[in-house]
Every structure is written in structure tokens, then in C-alpha cells.
Structure 1
Amino acid sequence: MKEALDVVLAEASVSHCSLTFIMDKTSSYFHEALRIHVPATKTGGDMVLDVAVAGSVGVNGTMTQVVAQARKCNHFGDEATPDCRKLARVFPPLLVHTQQMRLMSWCALVVVFSDYPTFLSVFAEMADEGRLMVWETKLLVITRLPLSSLEDLMQNYWTFSMMNTMFLKLNASSGENHCQIYAHMPYGPTGSHVAQLASLKSGHALGYLSDKTLFPEKYNNFHGMKVNLTWIPLTPGWMVIKRPGPNGTEVTTFGGREYWIMENIGSILNFSLNPLPYTGWDPVMKRLRTREAFLWPVTLPILPHMLELYDFGFFLERSTLAFTMAKPSTKSSWESLYRPLRIEVWGLIAVAVVVVYIVLMVMNAYGKDEVPGAWLVMKQVLGTLLDEAIPGELPLRSTTRVVLTTWLIFSFVVGTVYRSNLTACLTIPLYPSRIETFSGLVDANTKQGVFGDED
């Protein structure tokens, strides 16, 4: 076993990967496994977890904790929690030379030792439920079980059948081919099957069968298989197109960006799409959880509650959150009469007209000469503001002339500014300010629009 594991680790190119050993301590070769020496420079850190078999119930409870801690410690090794350090049993210099796991390790190898089908089946279920396994995580199961038991395990459990898993079967004899390496291939020319990848020959050399490799890629070629796909009819990502068919029938086809992306991927990986009937939002998620469907083309935001349901590997397509609004329309042309000046300026001009009118009326009332009437004074104030000639005779008193001259200067300045801005408003249309931020969208009290089919 020591020779086989050393050869597999060397051939599988797992340098700089973190290693996690999960051992059935009642196996006959458990203590032999502790004498395996893994150089510290070879891996990014190692951890040993042992689980005692005490009935199926006990195995379930213990295995759940082991899988959870293995996943946590693999991802946060440099900042391992006390629970991680407690569960990581160190046996220097026999097995583990260093316990420092790489922070957010991009590569991990889990090695499971057991001769009990129950132990392995529980591990497979707990690893699947606890999301210990992703495709970058390699799993090597070392066992002495017969090939028939291995075939049952590999065909009945997702962790063994669909993930990056190999079985290293040890034989009782120590001669030629004293151990074989198997993997379950879910897609092939004849369908799913268990394939022997290699065997260990005398002299500690791996003998490969055909073009097989260790930890083979299972999804480079689907060999024309149909892959179930779930979808949501959201235009323009996924569109249902109904066309008239032969004999008065109706043919349903699909289109849209998401469908075309999946179709192109299928042409490269040699599989065809089998879109399942759409029956609502909830069945879409359920089909993924139960693995009735394998694919769901959708733009999915990476939010905290999403991380509890999904493991994100890499981005196929990046998108940004945005909103669109109608182009602001210009105001009516008649509004250009007052838009050259702000409302506050118009208010101050009205106040100035009233003040000047009152001042002139008061000054005329205290004068000794014949004074113009109230209507004539009003025409003097408004007429000069509108660039009209002064009606009637000019006032004789010096103080009245000073006030009227000041008002003439004020009217000239205001009139010049107004005419200049009026020309600009009539020449260049002025659009209202656009909403550029989310806070501006909220302040505008904009109504929400939902597009797509709803139940």
C-alpha cells in the first residue's frame, strides 16, 4: 500500500496540493498507513482524520463532522480553527511533517482508507451533502474490497461516479499487478462503465491500459449523450419559439443567448440538449438538487445566501447590474419664456418692482409739484423693465430722478441677461437631468418593472 500510494501521488502531479487522509481505524492496515512518509516539500499541507466504525448511526454522525471539518480546513488552512487543529491528528515524522494548510487551497487530494462498504457509502453521501467534493478536489479510495463491491459503490453514489474519483484496489498477493486503479466513466461509446486505468507492476511502476491516465477527465466527450437541462423563459436569454409544423401541428423550438451558449458548448463537448418542460421557478431548483437536470443557463449573482447552496468555480460570462430608463423629453416651447431665468430670480424681480413702485408713490405724495397718478407710475416701472420708453413727463425732483435712473440701469441688466439666455434656450434644447445612481432612482420614486412569465 505504501508503494502504491507513493507511486500514485508522484504520477498524479499533486505537488503543492493539500492532502487530507480520512482513515477507518479498524482496517487491518491502518497502522501501516501511518508509516507512509510524505515529504513536506511535496504538498501544501496535510491533515489526518480517523473515524471509528461503531455502527451505521455512529458513522453517520462522526462522518458528518469529519467532512465538514475537512472542507473547512482545506479552504482555511493557514487560519485553521481550534476544531481543525483538534481533529487534525499529527504523527510526526511518520505521516505528517507539517500541519499548515494552504489558505484557500486551489488543489486538494482526499485519500480514504477503508475495507467496509458501509463506511465508504456513508462517506460518499456525507461528502456530497457537505460539498466536500468539487472537480478540482481529487479523491483516492484505497481498499481491499472485491471488484463487484467497488462497481456497486461507483455506480450508486454521485461522489464516486461523477466526481474526480479513483479506487486503488489492493490484492492479497504482492506479485505482478498486485493492485489495480479503477474509475467510473459516466459517458462513453457504450454508456457508463467502470474502467481500469492502470495497475502497479513489480518494480513499483504503473502500467497504463490503452490511453488511460490517472484522474481522467470525464467530461471532455459525452459521446452524443443527451443532457437534461432546466431553464426559465426570460427574454432575451431564453425564448420559446412556436412554429407551424406538418399536418397542422405546432413545433416548439428554443432560442436566445443562453440557449445558444449551451448549444455551442454541446457541439464542442459532443452532447445534445434535452430541455425539460418548464413548470415554474421552484421545480427548476428542485431538478438541480435532485440531479434530474445537470445544467441551468442563468445569470446568477454571487450573494451570501447563494454561497450556502452553490460552489462557484469560474465565470463563463460576467455581467453588471444596470437599469435603463426612457430618454428625458424636452419641455414645451412656450416654457422657454420663463426658463432663461431661475424661479428665485423671477421672484426677486417681482419684489423689486413692488418696492420701486411703493418708493415712487411715497416720494410723489410728499412732493409739492403736481405728481403723476398711480397708473402712470406703474407704467413707468413696468414699461422701463420691458424696454419701453418712459411714459409722460420726466419727474422734476432730483431724488425721484435718481431712483428712476437706478431702476433704468437695473432693467437694462436684467433685460440683457434674459434676452441672451432666451436665445440660447430657443437654439439648443435643454434636456432634464438623467438619473445616474441607484439612490437617484429611489429618490425619483420610480416604479419597478418585472419582465418574464410569472405563475
Structure 2
Amino acid sequence: MAVQKSFAMAAMLCVCLQPATATPPVLERGDESWIKEALEVVLAEASVSHCSLTFMMDKTSSYFYEAVRFRMPATKTGGDVVLDVADDGSTDVNLTMTQVVAQARKMRLMSWCTLVVVFSDNPTFLSVFAEMADKGRLMVWETRLLVITRLPLSNLQDLLQNYWTFSMMNTMFLKLNTSSGENHCQIYGHMPYGPTGSHVAQLASLNSGYILVYLSDRPLFPEKYNNFHGMKVNLTWIPLTPYWMVTKRPGPNGTEITTFSGRDYWIMENIALIHNFSLNPLPYTGWDPVLKSLRTREAFLWPVPLPILPHMLELYDISFFLERSTLAFSMAKPSTKPSWETVYRPFQIDVWGLVVASVVTVYIVLLMMNTSNKDKGPGAWLVMKQVLGTLLDEAIPGELPQRSNTRVVLTAWLIFSFVVGTVYRSNLTASLTIPKYPPRIETFSGLVDANAKQVHHAFFNVAPSLPV
């Protein structure tokens, strides 16, 4: 099922689930109309125009087909997908729910935001969904979950309090009564932090005129973490300077006092001050216990610099960023060459090679021309002094050659020596006046070409700072 983000979509996926409890009482045909009206009111209030809808349904619910019929037109939302969990007992419940959650997660990843609506009167179905949604990373805080059920209030409270997906995520329960009338629908949510601690709160009810009546100042899908009401929040950490530093000093009665500092600790302190909670850093015993404390939710926070790399996105979901930074590397400033190397620095190696080749060629030519002359010309040593001397801006030693062709060669060599000498002296003066530093590495490909292999391992064994 390939669906692109930002345009409407609709699909049906049928999988199987073993029956776990007896089928709940079947509603009368006339009751389906008010259930339809109630669900339309709540969904219209809870959903956002550009968010997609994902319906997960249990056929043991008598209002299943009505729920499919009333779903909002895809043009009013970001699209919708219906996941029909059938009841023929042919597949294991955990395997089946894993497949359904995986499809729902694909829908969530392709949408700007998602509202997941689950229909079921089966507590086993809902408990398995909660476990698989947590394990399959279906929920992030921006994803809203609405559970519609006719379970008794005691069952509903057990589900809200005992499963992370229902208790800590952005979840509401819509409880339908078996008959219409005043307050025939109630909406509940679990508030993990409050003046009296963790509790299940009734957020609203639906009266006989299909009007939502709010029972508190909380809206639908209330924010659970704006105020922790002075609770202690467990926090794990790693001693990574300068982000998190530990100082130990002697205390009274032979005790040891541990204090924390560093950039990440100060950020956490300010967040705790704003949201009214206190930090409880857990003892650091190594990398593995840090990750385990997050998986088991012994710790709620881990402030850490996190590079968002592709292989990490396969393991973790990122809710939001405190700050963004680019991937960077640092290297020592390139140093200049030793002073004795300034003699040949004005020319590159290939230029020096051409100069040496020219000296050898001119020397051989002049020597051969003098040898072919009937009159004895200058010797080999004198020819060498003529070639090197003129190159070094010295006077021509000995007598000038008598033959015209020898004079032409020597004149050409004088011009060549003048040009080379002038360029050399100019470049030498410039290099001595303004030092030229070697080029430094500016790109990642340049870093690879430089065979830089040492990387700090700490930045590749990290997890999100907010596991919820």
C-alpha cells in the first residue's frame, strides 16, 4: 500500500485475531443511530483537518459496520485507512496485532499528523494492542489515540493505568453506554501527574443533544506534561564533558556529596523549573545500564547530544529537538613548512624539474657545439659555470663565444635565466612576507581522503532524550 504524504487516501486491510472473551451484548438496531451521531461529534472535535485517520476495529463490536459507514470524507482530513481485525481464530493474536500496528505506523510516517481510532469491547484485544503499539513504535506524542469501547468503568480504569500506550501517551477513552439518554457517552483520560498523583480523569460527557460538556478546564487530548506538580523525575546520564560533569566532595559525618554541572544538566534544570518537577539523576554504571533504564522506563529523561543518522532512526523515534546543529569535525590548524624549505617553495616541484632539465639540455648543447668547432673552445667546467652563472645572475666567465650559433643559444639562455630568476625572487619575497599555509580539509570527502580514522565512540551509542 503505497501512499504519498499530503493527499487523501483510503484503504482496507483484513487480518485475523483469535477470540478471547465472549461477544458483548448486541445493540438494538435503533441504537446504532445515536452511536453514529456521538462518534461523529467526538471525532469532529478531536481531529485536525490536515491529519489522517487510522481506524482499527474489532468485529466483536456490534457497531463495526456503522463505524465504517460514518467515517469522515477523505477530503476533510489528510486521508483515512481502515484496519479490520477479523475473528476467525486462524492466527496468533500477537503476530496478527504486530502486522496491524506495522501498517498503522506506515500510515503515521506518511502523514503530517495522525489520529488513531480503535474500536473494541474486548479487554484482551485492547491490552494486546497497547503492548504491540508500544513495542512497534506506533505512537509519538503528536499522534493522538482515541479508544471507543463499551467496557465497564473498572476495566477501562485498569487499561488506562496499566499500559504505557494508554497512561503516558496522548490517549483518550470514549465509553459508550448501552442506551441513549443524558450523559450516554463519557470521555476519560489518564493523568500521570497531578496534585494528588496519578489518576484517571473524566474529561467530558455527551448529553442527549449531542453536545460535548467539558467537566474541567482540560480540553480533549489534554497536555499531560505541562505541570508535574513537584514530582521527582528519574533521569539517566553519561559523564561526557562539557555536557554533563560530576563533582564529588566530602560531606558531614563522612558522607560524600555529589553535585552536577554542565550544559545538559543546566538545560534540564531550567526545564524542571518551568514544568514544576525536580531531577533525580540515577547512578551511572555504564552505557548498557543507561540504555536499559530507558527501555524499562526506570528513567524518563536522558539529556544527550544525538546525531540523527539513518541507522538510528530504525531504532528510535524523535519527537522534537531542543536545538539543532550540523555534523562537523575539527582539526589542528595547518602549520607552515620549516624555514629551510623556503628556498624551493616559490616554485612547484614540476617547475623545478623543468629548470633542471633546461640546465642539463643547454649544457649539453653548448658543450657539443664547442667540441665540433675546429678552434678549441672553453672546457666542460667553463661551460658549466657559464650556464649556472647566468642562471644565478652572475657575469659570464671567460671570453664570449666567437661563433654566431653559439651566441644565439647563449642569448636565449640569458633571456630564460632572466625570466626564471625574476619570477623566483618575486615569489620568494612574497612567501617570506606573507606566509602561505597549506590547504586545510573543508569537506567530509576530504576527511576520508586524509585517512582520518579516529572517531569518538560516545556519539554513536546514544538514544533519544525523551523516550515517550
TM-score normalized by the length of structure 2 = 0.82
- The answer to whether residue 72 in structure 2 is matched with residue 66 in structure 1 is no
Task: Report the 3-state secondary structure (helix = DSSP H, G, I; strand = E; otherwise coil) of the residue aligned with 1:142.
Answer: strand
Tell me, in whole angstroms, the C-alpha distance in 2 between the residues paired with 1:342 and 1:204. 87
Q: What CA deviation, in whole Å up to 9, does each residue of 1:93-146 have, x standing for no partner? A: xxxxxxxxxxx3223222222222212211211222222222222222222222
Q: Structure 1 pair 368/269, CA: closer, same or farther in 2 (3 Å)? A: same
- The answer to whether residue 113 in structure 2 is matched with residue 107 in structure 1 is yes
Correspondence for 1:405 among 411, 426, 438: 411
CA contact (8 A) 1:197 1:209 kept: yes
- Report deviation, 1:16: 3.9
- Report deviation, 1:183: 0.9
Correspondence for 1:416 among 413, 422, 431: 422
CA contact (8 A) 2:305 2:459 kept: no
| 2:321 paired residue number | 315
Correspondence for 1:17 among 51, 55, 59: 51
Q: What CA deviation, in whole Å up to 9, does each residue of 1:69-115 have, x standing for no partner? A: 2333454xxxxxxxxxxxxxxxxxxxxxxxxxxxx322322222222
| 1:169 paired residue number | 175
Tell me, in whole angstroms, the C-alpha distance in 1 between the residues paired with 2:159 and 2:423. 88
| 1:260 paired residue number | 266
Aligned-partner residue type, residue 134 of structure 1:
V
Task: Report the 3-state secondary structure (helix = DSSP H, G, I; strand = E; otherwise coil) of the residue aligned with 1:328.
Answer: coil
Tell me, in whole angstroms, the C-alpha distance in 2 between the residues paired with 1:45 and 1:358. 87
Q: Structure 1 pair 232/47, CA: closer, same or farther in 2 (3 Å)? A: same
Q: Structure 1 pair 248/414, CA: closer, same or farther in 2 (3 Å)? A: farther
Task: Report the 3-state secondary structure (helix = DSSP H, G, I; strand = E; otherwise coil) of the residue aligned with 1:228.
Answer: strand
Task: Report the 3-state secondary structure (helix = DSSP H, G, I; strand = E; otherwise coil) of the residue aligned with 2:387.
Answer: helix
| 1:5 paired residue number | 39
Q: What CA deviation, in whole Å up to 9, does each residue of 1:321-364 have, x standing for no partner? A: 11111111111222222222222232232233333333333333
Tell me, in whole angstroms, the C-alpha distance in 2 between the residues paired with 1:324 and 1:224. 42
Task: Report the 3-state secondary structure (helix = DSSP H, G, I; strand = E; otherwise coil) of the residue aligned with 1:380.
Answer: helix
CA contact (8 A) 1:233 1:452 kept: no
CA contact (8 A) 2:108 2:138 kept: no
| 2:330 paired residue number | 324
Tell me, in whole angstroms, the C-alpha distance in 2 between the residues paired with 1:443 and 1:178. 71
Task: Report the 3-state secondary structure (helix = DSSP H, G, I; strand = E; otherwise coil) of the residue aligned with 1:23.
Answer: strand
Aligned-partner residue type, residue 229 of structure 1:
L
- Report deviation, 1:196: 1.2
Q: Structure 1 pair 414/285, CA: closer, same or farther in 2 (3 Å)? A: same
Aligned-partner residue type, residue 263 of structure 2:
R
- The answer to whether residue 237 in structure 2 is matched with residue 231 in structure 1 is yes
Percent of aligned pairs with the same amino acid: 82
- Report deviation, 1:39: 5.0
- Report deviation, 1:168: 1.9
- Report deviation, 1:302: 3.1
CA contact (8 A) 2:187 2:202 kept: yes
CA contact (8 A) 1:240 1:254 kept: yes
**Aligned-residue CA RMSD (Å):** 2.8
| 2:15 paired residue number | none
Q: Structure 1 pair 105/439, CA: closer, same or farther in 2 (3 Å)? A: closer
Task: Report the 3-state secondary structure (helix = DSSP H, G, I; strand = E; otherwise coil) of the residue aligned with 1:237.
Answer: coil
Q: What CA deviation, in whole Å up to 9, does each residue of 1:378-412 have, x standing for no partner? A: 32222222222222333333333333333322222
Tell me, in whole angstroms, the C-alpha distance in 2 between the residues paired with 1:192 and 1:452. 36
- The answer to whether residue 55 in structure 2 is matched with residue 49 in structure 1 is no
Unaligned runs of 5+ in 1: 76-103
| 1:129 paired residue number | 135
Tell me, in whole angstroms, the C-alpha distance in 1 between the residues paired with 2:67 and 2:358. 99
Most deviating of 156-165 and 262-271: 262-271
- Report deviation, 1:147: 1.6
Task: Report the 3-state secondary structure (helix = DSSP H, G, I; strand = E; otherwise coil) of the residue aligned with 1:251.
Answer: strand
Tell me, in whole angstroms, the C-alpha distance in 2 between the residues paired with 1:452 and 1:51. 44
CA contact (8 A) 1:357 1:381 kept: yes
- The answer to whether residue 445 in structure 2 is matched with residue 439 in structure 1 is yes
Question: Within 5 A, what are the aligned runs for 1:351-390?
Answer: 351-390=357-396
- Report deviation, 1:310: 1.8
CA contact (8 A) 1:114 1:120 kept: yes
- Report deviation, 1:437: 2.1
| 2:7 paired residue number | none
Tell me, in whole angstroms, the C-alpha distance in 1 between the residues paired with 2:267 and 2:86. 48
CA contact (8 A) 2:307 2:459 kept: no
Q: Structure 1 pair 337/258, CA: closer, same or farther in 2 (3 Å)? A: same
Unaligned runs of 5+ in 2: 1-34, 462-468
TM-score normalized by the length of structure 1 = 0.84
Question: Within 5 A, what are the aligned runs for 1:85-100?
Answer: none
| 1:300 paired residue number | 306
CA contact (8 A) 1:133 1:159 kept: yes
Correspondence for 1:348 among 350, 354, 367: 354
Tell me, in whole angstroms, the C-alpha distance in 1 between the residues paired with 2:74 and 2:409. 98
Tell me, in whole angstroms, the C-alpha distance in 1 between the residues paired with 2:455 and 2:171. 47
Aligned-partner residue type, residue 300 of structure 2:
F
Tell me, in whole angstroms, the C-alpha distance in 1 between the residues paired with 2:455 and 2:69. 65
Q: Structure 1 pair 379/71, CA: closer, same or farther in 2 (3 Å)? A: closer
Q: Structure 1 pair 53/293, CA: closer, same or farther in 2 (3 Å)? A: farther
Q: What CA deviation, in whole Å up to 9, does each residue of 1:267-308 have, x standing for no partner? A: 211122222222222222222222222222223333333232
Correspondence for 2:61 among 22, 27, 33: 27
CA contact (8 A) 2:307 2:327 kept: no
- Report deviation, 1:32: 5.2
Correspondence for 1:198 among 204, 208, 213: 204
